Structure 1
Amino acid sequence: MRRPTLRRPGWLRTGPAAVLALTVAVGTLAALGLRAPATPAAEEAPTVTGAPAPALSGTTLDGGQFALSDARGQVVLVNVFASWCGPCREELPLLVDAERSWSPRGLRLVGLNIRDGTEAVRALLDETGATGLTVVPDPDGTRAVQWGVRGVPETFVVGRDGRLVDRRQGVVTRQWLEQRIAPLLAG
């Protein structure tokens, strides 16, 4: 008895050479995609002190307007936070207290809230006693990318001249504030 011959679909009859060519083509495209040049936002992200701070403006959580450019002449802490971030919850009261104590000497605090919902942020501010904090929402994280944020919490220090003076990845401590911010407010 003779076995029936199975016919392969046309694309399978081309053999191993076609499969190899297709694999090489897909691999090449993937490799080129991985080596694509950085986006302009990533190239402009501030990673060194002394660089001009990126623009930061928009409608605040309470419906007002904020523009970093309007804060020239003040030392500004830009704190990047989220309601779902435990360490952010820990440091907010300290930052708000620093602003209350040092605002007469020229300190301004603004929160850049990333990937969050309005109600969750308001609940966090209530819980931490930070209800007066100026918050600029960044629901898709675009502004955070422009600032070169690597995680939350992260705090940037913008000098009176609008240039980046310092940056803290992770939780800000009282000691860090005393060492890094207090001298900028002297005189």
Structure 2
Amino acid sequence: MLLVVAVAAVLAAGLRAGTSSTSGASGPTPAPELGGTTLDGGRFDLAEAHGQVVVVNVFASWCGPCRDELPLLADTARRWSPHGLRVVGLNLRDGPEAVRALLAETGTTDLTVLPDPDGTRAVKWGVRGVPETFVVDRDGRIVARQQGVVTRGWLDQRVTPLLGVA
């Protein structure tokens, strides 16, 4: 119960804080562990994605801005996956039916989604609210973070240099 209260407090504070972006101003930091069974029954492990650039987006079905940015994230995954990009959604505090309905509604059923029903993974990542997005470089370090909605420009500016494409 205490963990649920702590997660709720962290997320509430983050939602009040607004949006901000960091690009590793204090330098890249090692990404926390992230892995497990995906919504579609597959497996994802960030440690096994070493050598790829990974965008981790924390979202929830009850978050309007999350709903708006999911198509952009799916499009980014389709566009840059041949160059070594993975986009992973970390779904916060939802049941599988709600997530599947959201993905179907937004046309993003091809996204890799890890459920985080109790918020413990989000806490390990230091998530302050939803949506929140992290860019992990090929060496497993967080090099950029966006609290709030990402844009195509933000993604292109932070991801394409890591992929070595123009």
Matches within 5 A, 1:141-156: 141-156=119-134
Length-normalised TM-score, structure 1: 0.73
Matches within 5 A, 1:77-88: 77-88=55-66
Which one has a larger percent strand, Structure 1 or Structure 2? 2
Length-normalised TM-score, structure 2: 0.82
> Over aligned residues, Cα RMSD in angstroms?
1.5
Segment drifting more, 172-181 vs 46-55: 46-55
SS at match of 1:156: strand
Q: 1:64: how far off?
A: 1.1
Q: 1:147: how far off?
A: 0.1
Partner residue, 1:176: 154
In the comparison of the two structures, how many residue pairs are matched? Answer: 142
Structure having greater relative contact order (Cα 8 Å, sep ≥ 6): 2
Measured in 2, the distance between the counterparts of 1:49 and 1:111 equals 24
Any stretches of 5+ residues in structure 1 without a counterpart? 1-45
Partner residue, 2:136: 158
Partner residue, 1:39: none
Measured in 1, the distance between the counterparts of 2:140 and 2:84 equals 13
Q: 1:47: how far off?
A: 9.8
Matches within 5 A, 1:61-76: 61-76=39-54
Say which one has the larger Rg. Answer: 1
Q: 1:183: how far off?
A: 1.1
1:110 lines up with 2:63 in the alignment: no
Any stretches of 5+ residues in structure 2 without a counterpart? 1-23
Partner residue, 1:133: 111
Partner residue, 1:54: 32
